[in-house]
Structure 1
Amino acid sequence: MRSYAYVGPPDIRLRSLGKPAGREIRSAADVLTWARDTGQDIRRGFPVAATYVIDEESRLLIADRHSEHVACAAGRNVLAAGEVFFVVESPSSVHIDEISNQSTGYCPRSDCWEAVALALDRIGLSHPRDFTTICTFRKCGSCGERNIVKDGWFYCDVCGEALPEKWNFTDLE
């Protein structure tokens, strides 16, 4: 599986150095414990949002949704990153309602789903068959800005230049 290095602003990475990584999730009960420990709004049937990464050891790490992915990953490379919405039905029943690859810090391709599915299956968390929201990322060759491509519009949001059709955050293609 592909490993993704952080490609976001260096100052965000520097701010996250030395801070604890996201909470490792090994079971549905761990999600509930994390939610309680971090003051999330837990109501039966309502989603609890989190930032997540799958680290290079294939572990699911989560943090508050307003956290940076690079902080959740303790500055390390990841196999996947995005946002996840857990639904707590009971203390022993938690499932994933929505999940994405939305991380402008790592800009993962949609095929990182394989790493996500393997980690979630190992934990035993019920989840959708694929990302419920898929983000397409491209780096502008002219200004270097990271972009999320929407509706097939392959043009840089900053300088207007055309973006490449292929994912381009490394030369390892």
Structure 2
Amino acid sequence: MRPGDGGRRMGSAGDVDGWIVERSAAELTEPFTFVVGMDGVLRLAPRRSEHVACAGGDMVLGAGEIGFTREAGRWIVREVSNQSTGYCPDVSSWAEVARALDAVGLGRPSRFTHEVVFRRCPDCQEHNIVREGDFVCVFCGGDLPTAWNVDPGA
């Protein structure tokens, strides 16, 4: 996928099935890139695609990585995260991701299977991934806020 190319819009379980069967066996062993656009629609792209390219450069309601498995003759979500350094979505974006997955009829877990906590440092403005509850900037040592603040409007 080249920058500027959008991910494939998924309007139904059939769309997801059609997209997945186009993937190679090797691709199916890894999660894919996904975004939920401002229209609430799920978009999928191969794993090494940038989330911003998957979204066609637009803002999103959610983004991360997603993996599927075949169960009882249909595809279901095996794993899903908010891991996107392009958008740094809050874990609260799960509600929008779940709504988009439900809209296309995909079985899914009850929450992200892997949550990433992103924060922007108020001192140096760098984006951080908070590990093990340590809200300290890895770049300047400043304190990171406990509430999500990556969006400049936040």
What interval of TM-score do these two structures reach, taking the shorter chain for normalisation? 0.7 to 0.9
Secondary structure, in 3 states, of the residue corresponding to 2:100?
helix
Secondary structure, in 3 states, of the residue corresponding to 1:147?
strand
Give the superposition deviation at 1:89.
Answer: 4.0
Give the superposition deviation at 1:135.
Answer: 1.1
Amino acid at match of 1:167: W
Aligned with residue 73 of structure 1, among 40, 55, 67: 55
Q: In the TM superposition, what whole-angstrom CA distance separates every residue of 1:86-133 from its partner, at most 9, and x where no partner exists? A: 11347x510001111111111111111111111111110000011111
Aligned with residue 94 of structure 1, among 68, 75, 82: 75
Equivalent residue, structure 1, for 2:103? 122
- 1:73 to 1:61, Cα distance in 2 relative to 1, 3 A: same
- 1:79 to 1:30, Cα distance in 2 relative to 1, 3 A: same
Segments of structure 1 that go 5 or more residues without pairing to the other structure are 1-14
Q: In the TM superposition, what whole-angstrom CA distance separates every residue of 1:26-54 from its partner, at most 9, and x where no partner exists? A: 23333343234343537xxx755101000
Aligned with residue 85 of structure 1, among 54, 62, 67: 67
Is 1:22 aligned to residue 43 of structure 2?
no
Secondary structure, in 3 states, of the residue corresponding to 1:148?
strand
* 1:24-173 correspondence runs (5 A): 24-41=9-26, 47-89=29-71, 92-170=73-151, 172-173=153-154
Secondary structure, in 3 states, of the residue corresponding to 1:117?
helix
Secondary structure, in 3 states, of the residue corresponding to 1:81?
strand
Segments of structure 2 that go 5 or more residues without pairing to the other structure are none
- Greater RCO (Cα-Cα under 8 Å, separation 6 or more): 1
Equivalent residue, structure 2, for 1:11? none
- 1:47 to 1:28, Cα distance in 2 relative to 1, 3 A: farther
Q: In the TM superposition, what whole-angstrom CA distance separates every residue of 1:2-23 from its partner, at most 9, and x where no partner exists? A: xxxxxxxxxxxxx72xx32001
Amino acid at match of 1:41: A
Amino acid at match of 2:142: E
* Alpha-carbon RMSD: 2.1
1: CA distance between counterparts of 2:38 and 2:54? 13
TM-score, length-scaled by structure 1: 0.79
